[in-house]
Structure 1
Amino acid sequence: MNRTIAAFGCVVAMGVSALTLSEEPTAASRQLRAERPSTATGEWPTYGGDLANSKYSPLDQINASNFGSLRIAWRAKSPDGFLSMTLPDGTEWSADSKLIFEELSRVDPTRWRDNQPPFVQNYKVTPLMVGGTIYVNTPASVGAAYDARTGALKWVYNPKSYESGTTTMTLRWNQRGVAYWRAPSTAPGASGPEERVYWGTGDGYLIAVDAKTGRPVQEFGVNGKVDLMEGLPRAQRGTRDYLNALTYSVQSPPIVVKDMIVVPAAISSLIKTKEQIPGWMRAFDARTGKVRWTFQPIPQKGEFGADTWQDGSNEYAGKVTVWTIMSADEELGLLYLPTNTTAPDFYGAHRLGDNLFAESVVALDINTGKRVWHFQTVHHGLWDYDNPAAPNLLDITVNGTRIKALAQITKQGYVYTFDRATGRPVWDIVERPVPPSDVPGEKASPTQPMPTKPAAFEYQGATVNDLADFTPEIRAMAEQAIQGFRTGPLFTPPSIEGTIVRPGTTGGANWSGAAVDPETGLMYIPSRNAYAVSRLSPPDPKVHSNLLYMQTPGRNPQMPEGLPLFKPPYSRMTAIDMNTGDHKWMVPTGAGDRIRNNPRLKPLKLGPVGGDITLAGPLLTKTLLMYALTTGGIRGGPRLVAFDKATGKELASTDLPGSAVGTPMTYAIDGKQYIAISVQSPTPTDIPELIVLTLP
């Protein structure tokens, strides 16, 4: 098999400034817009603004000259502050969520992992705005709608998924958004369109509600929900992994393509056996919830790619799926899947081979779910290098040729770029030798695919030359700190003693993804210089595992006095011209005063070193690149920063009442532009908020 590729504006008067929208619509385009909302009309109808996941809006009322004067137009506490539970007699009790969680824990002390109730601060939603209404969901899988002008609550729907237990995976209680669908109503006598909002829950259901009322759509599935575990081999509702979390959840928004809903899945990598739940990707009819097609990311006997799973391991392996956001090109009729690592993440002696279609970009026919082309970004994954974000779709001009391109950012710091119609790489991707594994039974891939362009956007590998060298004494401390650990280049495998892996499991890049300017072809990628230690040991007999080795906790390299182990920057924003594949600029994200003010470093008067970020993503408009930082506000606190798109220079900022946890979006209504972003509360015991900013 060939490893490299297997294919098959009107202006509205504002007062402060003008707000640029699209051209005056024709009758045909008005009809189309009635069916499909768009950022061109000032809306934000999908997680990334559009199916291409651009995170771009043509709005320009908010610009460098007035960004610093933004104020809070309205704010709304997360609906997770007030919840309900089902009582033994079938009635509902509603109360402050802290009381609800305490009572649920009292009724069943084993309900949650580590006896920890839902972490409602993980309010990672990027809201949608369609037709004057904001739509969100919460860590507790609650959906809600607000008036986009005033913030008045329109409805809340609570499926009470938290009653089932802790959501799967290490980063618990994640929800990142909802999906919106609109189509002509089929109801007799109906005059307007039918509108629905969809989201997945922490306990593995797909929810459909009426977008106007929040009431479950009765004809969708069973009373407005579909059981996503139904029909999956080795999936049993209510089962737990070895840390007492659920084994199947949904963390990211579904994607609406034509009249279908395609749903991601998060499947536990903490199941103690080699037999895993398969991560089937399914398209559901938007009206009925019935399955329209199924794609199995682990090919079975007789299917293309089955030979990349040795010794019949494809019959029991699992977890290969999409847990993050997806993208699509409806004109080409293609849906793009950024798949993850198979399980367990760090040991694969029981699944030898390249393991297609794990850690791949897979293009499916939207109508049938059939594979059209794919590219595997990591062979036989051992590093948890899931493709963490939706591929960005953009049109670029390379050497005079116009290309409908797809760019996949990765945890390992690469951008893989393809013709999105054919899967052909835009620039060569070369198989390069990487270190072998010496863990008993393991056979790491001898090569890994590495793009020749663009250059990596983040540090890769962990060697002595990468260690902090602010002074000779600090370099000596760093060299001492890594003693007893294995170090090496990118793709150095996990080991018994513990391998320092850089980028680590959180990247590099992560779920919030990159933003793309369709006018210039510039791609903006936030990333972090983080590392992890990947250590293996035989499982404890008490675990009753049939795996020879499992990931195990242990010590990490310890630098004295809170000093960093590696060279800066510790986070950055990189702009890449995707027409040439060249880096245009890179800037550290944040001054990094926590590091710079270390007593050993302060006398050095270092420049910005970064590190002042969360995992939230960027937002692009016609005028600005926006990104949230955790420091630098008037009182030293969090802020939303506007950067010059051409140079990366910081232009202005506005303070936020808490650290951003969701990626911002922007919308316009009644001739006024707004920016919405979810933020944590100042204290861990308070409730996070949705903050909406606008000009005075």
Structure 2
Amino acid sequence: MFTTLMSIILMVIGLALGGGGIWLAWLGGSWFFIALGLALLACAFLLWTRRPAALALYAATLVVTLAWSVWEVGLDWWALSARGTLLVIIGIVLMIPPVVRSLHPQGMPRRRYGLPSAALAASIVIAGLVAAFAVREQPHDTAGAFSDERMQQSPVIKTAGVPDGEWQAYGRTPYGRRYSPLGQITPDNVADLQVAWHYQTGQVRNADTDPVETTYEVTPLVVADTMYVCTPFSTVIALDPVTGEEKWRFDPLLKQPPTATTQHMTCRGVSYFDGASDAARAALTDTGSAATGAGAGPIAADTTETAAAPAAAGTPQATETPAGEARLADESAAGVTTEAAGVAENVVTGQAAPSAPNPRVEREPASVPAAAPGADCIRRIFVPTSDGRLISISAETGEICPGFGGEDGTVNLWANMPNITPGSAYSTSPPVVTARAVIVGGTVNDNASTTSPSGVIRAYDVYTGELLWNFDSKKPDQTAPIAEGETYSENAPNSWSVSSYDPELNLVYLPMGNQSPDQYGGNRSAEVEAISSSVIALDADTGELRWTYQTVHHDLWDMDVPAQPSLIDLTIDGAAVPALVQPTKQGEIFVLDRRTGEPILPVTEAPAPAGAVEGDTTAPTQPISTISFNPKPLTEASMWGATPLDTLYCRIRFNQLNYEGRYTPPSERGTIVYPGNFGTFNWGGVAVDPERQVMFAMPVYLAFTSQMIKRPDDTTRVVTAEGQPVFNENLGSPFAAKMGTFTSPTGLPCQQPPWGYVAGVDLTSGKTVYQHVNGTVRDLAPVPLPFEMGVPGIGGPIVTKGGVAFLSGTLDYYVRGYDLQTGAEIWRSRLPAGGQATPATYLGRDGRQYLVVVAGGHGSTGTKAGDSIIAYALPN
């Protein structure tokens, strides 16, 4: 009976592999699966007829498959496993006594073990030896280390006045480095870290009512012995950073709850402003600000101690880079056209644009402590909300600061915005705060309609909330505050991620996205083409465009610039050069002179595939940086799965889809996008050490697919059902888009692992010094097996003067510590939920260095939701 069952199993597998193999060969792929299927069918027949030759034939099949696998992928354990593990398991089952005893010629006595079973045993041993050797190999790792001399460098660095023990901005300072000068935690003692406290916010994603992309991505701020965090629902909480006790809580009571058109619910952080700082005093004195809000009086009265105002950036000379992409304001503004903006109804829903939300925040009397206006608002927290508000609250008490936009302490971000529907435009990242202004970008829902709201970037007076300037990327030379009754350009490219600021140059650096749709560019204007998928520098006082550097030409892959630029001074040829390090989704790390936007490390232009859909074009070349994490191109041999069956499925899909390497344009047939729009790097960015001039990063590799669907008209749904959000419908465009991950029916990636790494780069030379597979599949597989396969992640790393890097963004639930010199993992701690946020570190009043991690999960990645904020420290 058992032998009959095994023969049926082999017959089914053989039919599937043989039939699929014929399909694969017809598509131009490997013929091996036809031979494998026929061999398994022959084994099934011999088992059915109880012939010992079944074992010998199976042994030969196993050995041939092993040889073919090693020929295709070498001694790569996970690649070999996909081809052979199932076959080895079946071979072991065929060796058990009930099967062997049943195999005998008709009329002959049953035999136990003989030459056929010995041959099968030998083939299994051979496979085991190859596997044991392959497991020890690390074909995807690059071993290396920064020199001891490099690790001991300790020059004086710019800190923008942020004390060593504090974390005052998303990247600790406005430079966006994610570097801490604290050195108490080192590679020698990091293993002693223990939980100091664990706080839960009480606000957790509801899978039934909240959008899928309700994500907890906050990086806590620590200022003046207080920690500030926000939740995905824009609630701001102040904690004691040593005990984790709650000090106060501010709930904005969202006026627009999540709706079908809400794509994201997240808060990456809040922003801090100190009105008593030297820069703020100087700015107030220089501008003669008419600030009348809380806190303005005490600052204006004290004019005896002022610092020099930040130096304004000089106007650079127009220069073309080798890649032809560093543009100055006078170039990029040429040929600007104006467009009629604003419509009464939105084509996405047919609804009239809603009135602006009531900016008045009404809270229960006991929700936060009572506070008197005035001195309490000298130090402020700015929080953007998902219903289109920017709110100023006291850093001392959590009470609203009257006078910022009105007595309600609120600026309406939907003002002058075209085509607003609930959930269509909001800010998910903390704004940039200068001595004079709070500068806000925002998220616009991707790929819903060509009549999306504007991606305008705006600056407001830090005290009064008065609009100082607006940068509309369709009208880059018109930065004066928009007139009452006018609207910004619809569907203008936006800046949704975190920005950086250089106080000395007085430039704010913004990563830019695209206008919708992401996958079709036939209707983009010259202004849009110049700004899309670029990093730009704006004058922080006027919003004037100083320069732009484009990272992808004519982007058709949603490769918007996703990460905060990191500002660092690099020693190049013996001279200090003010640099900007810009990570990108496609894996390029551009190192630019932040004064002019010209590359410091060389950039070349490489030919790119052609073949856009009707009405569109492709760029003939794309920029390649000296620092590039562009993965090796996919091949049929790099297709993967848990068994030969899903591996065969992925091979068939690979041959069905268009793929000519990175930048293969979207097509009606379907295209593999690799790296996918999840990004080699995303909003978590990279960490740069300004003393050692090195970078620590988490490159991720996942392939996606895109298929263009021709639309019959501007409004009919073609990729979504009625009642669902219209994301990827691209209403108003000639094509909708079907987007997805490149996976097998089992949900596993079709590309073989690893899918995630950590890497260390010398920023002065552009050399990748080490790159190591990072992360386990413990929380991704049905069975929690801690296999080190290198998993994807989203979130960013931090680095410290102590020589330790920290990262919690992988899709397994751990926070890890790494030796910055070698990249080796030297500590890990289990988290209660997904840790898709960037950590922070600070010095407590007890003299201990703390590491703080948020574990709340990420809806798009499927990690467990939570509400935990956990602090670690060395023992007292």
Q: Shared fold (TM-score greater than 0.5)?
A: yes
Displacement after TM superposition at 1:446 (Å): 2.1
Separation in 1 of the partners of 2:377 and 2:256? 34
Task: Return closer, same or farther for 1:482/1:320 CA change in 2, 3 Å cut-off.
Answer: same
1:54-82: CA deviation from partner (whole Å, max 9, x where unpaired)? 1111112222233223222222212526x
Asked if 1:577 is matched to 2:766, the reply is no
1:368-387: CA deviation from partner (whole Å, max 9, x where unpaired)? 11111111111222111011
Asked if 1:66 is matched to 2:189, the reply is yes
| Corresponding letter in the other structure for 1:132 | D
Asked if 1:344 is matched to 2:529, the reply is no
Displacement after TM superposition at 1:430 (Å): 2.3
1:487-515: CA deviation from partner (whole Å, max 9, x where unpaired)? 11111111112111011111110001100
2:383 aligned residue: 199
Task: Return closer, same or farther for 1:584/1:318 CA change in 2, 3 Å cut-off.
Answer: same
Could you tell which deviates more after superposition, 250-259 or 476-485?
476-485
| Corresponding letter in the other structure for 2:442 | A
1:441 aligned residue: 615
1:8 aligned residue: none
- SS of equivalent residue, structure 1 residue 356: helix
The structure with the larger Rg is 2
Asked if 1:618 is matched to 2:797, the reply is yes
Could you tell which deviates more after superposition, 45-54 or 293-302?
293-302
Could you tell which deviates more after superposition, 322-331 or 441-450?
441-450
Separation in 2 of the partners of 1:231 and 1:137? 27
| Corresponding letter in the other structure for 2:854 | S
- CA RMSD in angstroms, aligned pairs only: 3.5
- SS of equivalent residue, structure 1 residue 415: strand
Task: Return closer, same or farther for 1:472/1:679 CA change in 2, 3 Å cut-off.
Answer: closer
Task: Return closer, same or farther for 1:563/1:130 CA change in 2, 3 Å cut-off.
Answer: closer
Task: Return closer, same or farther for 1:462/1:315 CA change in 2, 3 Å cut-off.
Answer: farther
1:502 aligned residue: 674
1:378 aligned residue: 552
Where does structure 1 lack aligned partners over 5 or more consecutive residues?
1-21, 25-31, 82-96, 99-113, 241-245, 304-313, 632-636
- Among candidates 516, 523, 539, match of residue 365 of structure 1: 539
Aligned counterparts, 1:34-433, within 5 A: 38-40=162-164, 42-80=165-203, 116-117=209-210, 122-161=215-254, 163-166=256-259, 170=263, 172-184=264-276, 185-187=295-297, 194-222=378-406, 223-232=408-417, 234-236=418-420, 239-240=421-422, 246-272=423-449, 274-299=450-475, 318-351=491-524, 355-433=529-607
1:309 aligned residue: none
Aligned counterparts, 1:399-548, within 5 A: 399-451=573-625, 453-454=626-627, 456-459=628-631, 461-464=633-636, 466-468=638-640, 478-539=650-711, 543=716, 545-548=731-734
Task: Return closer, same or farther for 1:200/1:491 CA change in 2, 3 Å cut-off.
Answer: same
Conserved in 2, the CA contact under 8 Å of 1:119 and 1:139?
no
Conserved in 1, the CA contact under 8 Å of 2:559 and 2:677?
yes
Task: Return closer, same or farther for 1:118/1:559 CA change in 2, 3 Å cut-off.
Answer: closer
Separation in 2 of the partners of 1:464 and 1:270? 31
Task: Return closer, same or farther for 1:447/1:62 CA change in 2, 3 Å cut-off.
Answer: same
Task: Return closer, same or farther for 1:411/1:467 CA change in 2, 3 Å cut-off.
Answer: same
Could you tell which deviates more after superposition, 681-690 or 351-360?
681-690
- SS of equivalent residue, structure 2 residue 508: strand
1:432-473: CA deviation from partner (whole Å, max 9, x where unpaired)? 22122341111122222222x12x224165444654599999
Separation in 2 of the partners of 1:578 and 1:374? 21
Aligned counterparts, 1:587-606, within 5 A: 587-592=772-777
Conserved in 2, the CA contact under 8 Å of 1:463 and 1:487?
no
Separation in 2 of the partners of 1:315 and 1:143? 30
Separation in 2 of the partners of 1:300 and 1:193? 34
Could you tell which deviates more after superposition, 132-141 or 354-363?
354-363
| Corresponding letter in the other structure for 1:650 | E
Task: Return closer, same or farther for 1:62/1:502 CA change in 2, 3 Å cut-off.
Answer: same
Displacement after TM superposition at 1:531 (Å): 1.4
| Corresponding letter in the other structure for 1:688 | D
1:261-318: CA deviation from partner (whole Å, max 9, x where unpaired)? 111200112433x233221111111100111111122236999xxxxxxxxxx99652
Task: Return closer, same or farther for 1:539/1:50 CA change in 2, 3 Å cut-off.
Answer: same
Task: Return closer, same or farther for 1:157/1:23 CA change in 2, 3 Å cut-off.
Answer: farther
Displacement after TM superposition at 1:669 (Å): 1.9
Separation in 2 of the partners of 1:186 and 1:598? 59
Separation in 2 of the partners of 1:279 and 1:549? 22
Aligned counterparts, 1:7-46, within 5 A: 38-40=162-164, 42-46=165-169
Separation in 2 of the partners of 1:302 and 1:338? 20
| Corresponding letter in the other structure for 2:162 | S
- SS of equivalent residue, structure 1 residue 196: strand
1:554-585: CA deviation from partner (whole Å, max 9, x where unpaired)? 7x655366654223321011211001011111
Separation in 2 of the partners of 1:450 and 1:629? 26
| Corresponding letter in the other structure for 1:364 | L
Separation in 2 of the partners of 1:417 and 1:215? 42
| Corresponding letter in the other structure for 1:253 | P
Separation in 1 of the partners of 2:779 and 2:239? 37
2:820 aligned residue: 645
Task: Return closer, same or farther for 1:120/1:692 CA change in 2, 3 Å cut-off.
Answer: farther
- SS of equivalent residue, structure 1 residue 351: coil
- SS of equivalent residue, structure 1 residue 543: coil
| Corresponding letter in the other structure for 1:252 | S
Conserved in 1, the CA contact under 8 Å of 2:810 and 2:836?
no
| Corresponding letter in the other structure for 1:626 | F
Separation in 2 of the partners of 1:383 and 1:169? 22
1:677 aligned residue: 853
| Corresponding letter in the other structure for 1:616 | G
Conserved in 1, the CA contact under 8 Å of 2:442 and 2:495?
yes
- SS of equivalent residue, structure 2 residue 297: coil
- SS of equivalent residue, structure 2 residue 536: strand
Conserved in 2, the CA contact under 8 Å of 1:161 and 1:203?
yes
- SS of equivalent residue, structure 2 residue 203: helix
- Among candidates 829, 839, 851, match of residue 654 of structure 1: 829
Separation in 2 of the partners of 1:558 and 1:119? 19
Conserved in 1, the CA contact under 8 Å of 2:808 and 2:837?
no
Where does structure 2 lack aligned partners over 5 or more consecutive residues?
1-153, 277-294, 302-373, 480-486, 718-730
Conserved in 1, the CA contact under 8 Å of 2:419 and 2:490?
no
Displacement after TM superposition at 1:479 (Å): 2.1
Conserved in 1, the CA contact under 8 Å of 2:817 and 2:827?
yes
- SS of equivalent residue, structure 1 residue 187: helix
Displacement after TM superposition at 1:393 (Å): 0.9
Separation in 1 of the partners of 2:871 and 2:546? 41
Separation in 2 of the partners of 1:160 and 1:145? 17
Separation in 2 of the partners of 1:686 and 1:500? 30
| Corresponding letter in the other structure for 1:621 | T
Q: TM-score, normalised by structure 2?
A: 0.64
Conserved in 2, the CA contact under 8 Å of 1:462 and 1:501?
no
Conserved in 2, the CA contact under 8 Å of 1:298 and 1:356?
no
